[in-house]
């Protein structure tokens, strides 16, 4: 990533992140392996996952005194899910900045929910180390707030298959139909789902059939709602 791209992303994030840490946060393991086994972002992802979880937990606890522990846990799980976090990452076009290996690049890695979500967590980790816990929590909350404040988008990110089915019903078209295929060895299988809704067709990829279908459903929901 060039200095200009680094500054551009930092401006989008609205926080001062050490350029080397930001570059590390954007380095996927596929790129690292193809370039001599250099460090990649999985340690930062591990840290960022905790930063994300704490920030969301505190936000929900304070905002919803009426909810019991079980309800709070369900909402937290929804907000920090791979699908929801990938939606947040797309909002800042994070995929454009990720350093990917050739294989991932050729198979649409910049749009994969798992890569986007993991990279977003790594950015949270880099922010924590660069600017401290308060700045990291602030970044998390700024990025997820649009999702939380838009019931339709929140619902689609949390449960895209249901959201798409409801959208199809409102528009009086046939229910979504899914086709799933897979490639790769058992230990690294990749799934591709195609969903057809009316005359619209969308694709999603994931590390399981469920995640691929969810990714396809969310993409179809975004495409169709953008038409109106």
Residue tagged active-site, from 49, 104, 113, 213: 49
Residue tagged active-site, from 87, 104, 121, 159: 121
Q: Which of 110, 91, 92, 90 is nearest to 100 (CA)?
A: 110
Cα–Cα distance for residue pair 32/48, rounded to 1 Å: 19
Letter string b/e over residues 35-56, b meaning 16 or more CB atoms within 10 A of that residue's CB:
eeeeebbeebbebbbebbbebb
Letter string b/e over residues 113-152, b meaning 16 or more CB atoms within 10 A of that residue's CB:
bbbbbbbbbbbbbbbbbbbeeebbbbbbeebbeebbeeee
User: How many CA atoms within 13 Å lie on the side-chain side of 22?
Assistant: 23
Inter-CA distances, 202 with 95, 116, 152, 178, Å: 19, 18, 19, 10
- Active-site residue flag, 152: no
Residue 118 annotated as binding site: yes
Residue 121 annotated as binding site: yes
Strand order of the β-sheet with 200-206 is 177-183, 190-197, 200-206
Residue 223 annotated as binding site: no
Structure tokens at 212: 């691929």
Residues acting as catalytic residues: 49, 121
Q: Which residues are annotated as a binding site for Mg(2+)?
A: 45, 118, 121
Feature table: binding site: 45, 118, 121
């Amino acid at each position: 990533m060039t200095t200009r791209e680094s500054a551009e992303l930092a401006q989008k994030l609205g926080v001062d992140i050490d350029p080397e840490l930001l570059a590390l946060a954007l380095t996927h393991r596929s790129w690292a392996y193809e370039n001599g086994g250099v460090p990649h972002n999985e340690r930062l992802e591990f840290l960022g996952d905790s930063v994300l979880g704490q920030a969301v937990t505190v936000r929900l606890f304070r905002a919803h005194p009426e909810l019991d522990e079980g309800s709070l846990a369900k909402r937290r799980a929804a907000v920090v899910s791979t699908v929801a976090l990938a939606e947040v990452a797309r909002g800042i076009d994070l995929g454009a900045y990720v350093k990917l290996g050739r294989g991932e690049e050729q198979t649409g890695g910049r749009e994969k929910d798992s890569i986007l979500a993991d990279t977003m967590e790594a950015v949270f980790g880099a922010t924590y180390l660069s600017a401290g816990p308060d700045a990291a929590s602030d970044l998390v909350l700024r990025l997820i707030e649009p999702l939380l404040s838009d019931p339709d988008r929140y619902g689609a990110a949390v449960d895209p298959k249901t959201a798409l089915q409801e959208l199809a019903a409102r528009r009086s078209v046939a229910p979504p139909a899914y086709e799933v295929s897979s490639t790769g060895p058992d230990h690294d299988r990749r799934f591709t789902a195609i969903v057809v809704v009316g005359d619209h067709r969308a694709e999603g990829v994931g590390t399981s059939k469920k995640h691929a279908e969810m990714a396809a459903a969310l993409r179809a929901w975004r495409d169709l709602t953008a038409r109106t």
